[in-house]
Amino acid sequence: MKEIRERLDEIAEERTQFHLNEVVPQSGAEVGEERQTGSIITQSHVYGRDEDKEIIVENLVNPVACCDDIFVYPIVGIGGLGKTTLAQMVYNDERVGMHFELRIWVCISEDFSVKKIIKAIIGSATGTACEDLELDPLQRRLQDILNRKRYLLVLDDVWSEDEEKWDRLKCVLACGSTGASIIVTTRSRKVASIMGTFPMHHLSGLSEDECLLLFKERAFGQEKEERPNLVAIGKEIVKKCRGVPLAVKSLGSLMRYKSQSNF
């Protein structure tokens, strides 16, 4: 026991030498900055998503059937496949801008707190941070904003499979006019089936050709000359990315670094 205690003391001592601090994540904390998203497209060129965009925009601006229930359109796919990017393309489409009186973007991530989401929606709709009020005044304020409006709300990156919480939020959102719509992006089919009132949009991977274009953009940047040996390696790498743009981008960037050194 004595030996173990001494060893633990040594480890604790090393921890202070390396300046490692214990951090306990607070529940209900803000979405980590690196996971936060906004409505502005960050990708300079988006490959191979025109058809997906058309389908969603068409469904939003010319809904086939007018249902009384709020229109919730889920976009589903694995991490890094481009769900957020597709939602951004739809959000910024001119026809969508003309069709909806109000567009709101909220990044949800892992913490699905109804109060926090209502505050975020009010903040995004008004362009100013919402005060920390009790739930009831927040609900009323949100309903004043959405009341009888044809709004588009994007709930990006939803993880919660808690149906009860979604029902509580949905009741508050149900005050818009006919055609008010919500786009949900999620990795989870269960989330999509809980929230969706419309068949989910399964996002597929990019084709190898599209991946290669993205890879070259990252690996060679503005360079006019592509080195054939690097392109050949790129083609092999891209095959392993299975159409996931995040993987293609990351590996393309690594290649750029390598090609600038001694690849």
Ligand X SMILES: Nc1ncnc2c1ncn2[C@@H]1O[C@H](COP(=O)(O)OP(=O)(O)OP(=O)(O)O)[C@@H](O)[C@H]1O
Contact positions vs ligand X (CB under 6 A): 42-43, 46-49, 77, 79-85, 157, 185, 187, 206, 214, 245-246, 249
- How near is the Cβ of 263 to Mg ion at its closest, in Å? 31
Residue 230 interacting partner from ligand X, Mg ion, none (CB closer than 5 to 8 Å by kind): none
Judged by beta carbon, residue 77 or residue 176, the one nearer ligand X is 77
Residue 46 interacting partner from ligand X, Mg ion, none (CB closer than 5 to 8 Å by kind): ligand X
Q: How many chain residues bind Mg ion (CB under 5 A)?
A: 3
Residue 79 interacting partner from ligand X, Mg ion, none (CB closer than 5 to 8 Å by kind): ligand X
The 82-101 contact track toward Mg ion, x by CB under 5 A, reads: -xx-----------------
Beta strand 102-109 pairing with 201-202:
unpaired
Task: Give me the amino acid identity at 17.
Answer: Q
Q: Cα angle vertex 231, ends 230, 233, to 5°?
A: 65
Here the tokens at position 95 are 């026809």
Which single residue brings its beta carbon nearest to Mg ion?
84
Q: Decide: is 124 part of the binding site for Mg ion (CB under 5 A).
A: no
Judged by beta carbon, residue 91 or residue 141, the one nearer ligand X is 91
Residue 181 interacting partner from Mg ion, ligand X, none (CB closer than 5 to 8 Å by kind): none
The CA distance from 212 to 64, in Å, is 37
Judged by beta carbon, residue 156 or residue 176, the one nearer ligand X is 156
Here the tokens at position 157 are 């990156």
Judged by beta carbon, residue 72 or residue 206, the one nearer ligand X is 206
Length of the chain: 263
The CA distance from 249 to 31, in Å, is 23
Question: 121, 106 in Cβ contact below 8 A?
Answer: yes
Question: 195, 235 in Cβ contact below 8 A?
Answer: no
- How near is the Cβ of 79 to ligand X at its closest, in Å? 4
- How near is the Cβ of 71 to Mg ion at its closest, in Å? 21
Distances (CA, A) of 73 to 33, 63, 65, 76, 191: 26, 11, 14, 10, 12
Residue 170 interacting partner from ligand X, Mg ion, none (CB closer than 5 to 8 Å by kind): none
Helix (H, G, I), strand (E, B) or coil at 158: strand
Beta strand 71-76 pairing with 201-202:
parallel
Judged by beta carbon, residue 44 or residue 261, the one nearer ligand X is 44
Report the interface residues with Mg ion, using CB under 5 A: 83-84, 157
